[in-house]
């Protein structure tokens, strides 16, 4: 355990989460996969509350990937319906907690009912100044990078004028800092095309807990572990320790 007084890192400003394991959680209980998705909403609720209370500024949740369109149509439909219901059911609570909702992804490909529900909650929470909750829907990292490249070409910027900072302006959320921490539940250890650009230097936390079982304690444990990690950004361990000691004196 790391004592907070000696933590290597401050609280992450931005946490990204790959919410995985709903289907297996349901199957283990002899239920349909959709049962797991419905229970996953409870975990989202708990995470949003915990992130807000901790003072995390941005929480990005991978809710539906570009690749998820290839799931059985009934599951896709159920997920879309669940999204609409959850957005409508949670909006008052989001407003009361000061949570601002935003979404990233190929939103045009979502059913009209989802787009309307998203638009409605985004409008109603637009002035909220607490946690920024970002839902990734019909999203993939390669899609985002491809869109950014299209934007750059259309803008007519010359090749010599393009740099990383400029490229970022064409990504979905140029104003949002990169996630310091990525959490993936369910024991899978891969990125599955999530935030490929932004996760370049994130710390990765993999937990075997299935998403419908993931609660505040798991989240706090992930943050605790993150705070004790050494982030080097290409430098040596010795350089890092010199920097820390110099900062202390």
Among 23, 130, 141, 179, binds ligand IPE (CB under 6 A): 23
Smallest gap from residue 211 Cβ to Mg ion (A): 9
Q: Quick one: 154 exposed, middle or buried, by C-beta within 10 A (0-12, 13-18, 19+)?
A: exposed
What gap in Å lies between CA 85 and CA 114, rounded to an integer?
A: 9
Smallest gap from residue 74 Cβ to Mg ion (A): 17
DSSP 209: S
Smallest gap from residue 145 Cβ to Mg ion (A): 22
Picked from ligand IPE, Mg ion, none, the partner binding residue 144 (CB below 5 to 8 A depending on kind) is none
Using the rule CB under 6 A, is 20 a contact of ligand IPE? yes
Using the rule CB under 5 A, is 20 a contact of Mg ion? yes
Size of interface with ligand IPE, in residues (CB under 6 A) = 20
Smallest gap from residue 163 Cβ to ligand IPE (A): 31
What gap in Å lies between CA 19 and CA 219, rounded to an integer?
A: 12
Smallest gap from residue 136 Cβ to ligand IPE (A): 7
Site for ligand IPE in 119-138 (CB under 6 A): none
Q: Where are the alpha helices (DSSP H) in the chain?
A: 22-28, 33-54, 73-97, 112-124, 141-155, 164-168, 216-228, 237-248
**Residues β-bridged to residue 62:** 18, 136
Picked from ligand IPE, Mg ion, none, the partner binding residue 62 (CB below 5 to 8 A depending on kind) is ligand IPE
Using the rule CB under 5 A, is 180 a contact of Mg ion? no
Using the rule CB under 6 A, is 13 a contact of ligand IPE? no
Annotation marks residue 132 as catalytic: no
Site for ligand IPE in 49-108 (CB under 6 A): 62-65, 67-68, 79
Using the rule CB under 6 A, is 41 a contact of ligand IPE? no
What gap in Å lies between CA 157 and CA 147, rounded to an integer?
A: 15
What gap in Å lies between CA 11 and CA 48, rounded to an integer?
A: 16
Q: Residues 9, 32, 68, 120: which is the catalytic one?
A: 68
Q: Any residues with CB less than 8 A from the CB of 67 and at least 6 apart, and which? A: 140, 192, 193
Residues 45, 48, 50, 55, Cα dihedral to 10°: -170
User: Which residue's entry shows tokens 């064409």?
Assistant: 170
Using the rule CB under 6 A, is 215 a contact of ligand IPE? no
Q: Which residues bind ligand IPE (CB under 6 A)?
A: 18-24, 33, 62-65, 67-68, 79, 186, 188, 190, 192, 211
Catalytic residues: 20, 68
Q: Which residues bind Mg ion (CB under 5 A)?
A: 20
């Amino acid at each position: 355990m790391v004592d907070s007084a000696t933590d290597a890192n401050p609280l992450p400003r931005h946490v990204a989460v790959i919410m995985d394991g709903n289907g297996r959680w349901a199957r283990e209980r002899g239920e349909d996969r959709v049962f797991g998705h419905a229970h996953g909403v409870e975990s989202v609720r708990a995470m949003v509350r915990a992130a807000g209370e901790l003072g995390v500024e941005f929480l990005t949740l991978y809710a539906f990937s570009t690749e998820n369109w290839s799931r059985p149509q009934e599951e896709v439909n159920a997920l879309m319906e669940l999204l609409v219901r959850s957005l409508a059911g949670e909006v008052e609570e989001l407003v009361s907690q000061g949570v601002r909702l935003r979404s990233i992804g190929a939103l045009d490909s979502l059913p009209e009912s989802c787009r309307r529900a998203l638009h409605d909650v985004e409008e109603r929470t637009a002035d909220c100044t607490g946690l920024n909750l970002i839902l990734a829907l019909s999203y993939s990292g390669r899609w985002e990078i491809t869109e950014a490249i299209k934007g750059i070409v259309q803008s007519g910027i010359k090749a010599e004028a393009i740099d990383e900072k400029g490229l970022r302006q064409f990504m979905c959320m140029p104003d949002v800092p990169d996630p310091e921490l990525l959490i993936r539940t369910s024991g899978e250890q891969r990125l599955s095309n999530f935030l490929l650009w932004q996760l370049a230097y994130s710390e990765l936390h993999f937990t075997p807990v299935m998403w419908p079982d993931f609660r505040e304690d798991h989240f706090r444990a992930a943050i605790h572990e993150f705070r004790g990690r050494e982030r080097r950004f290409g430098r040596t361990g010795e350089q890092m320790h010199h920097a820390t000691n110099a900062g202390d004196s």
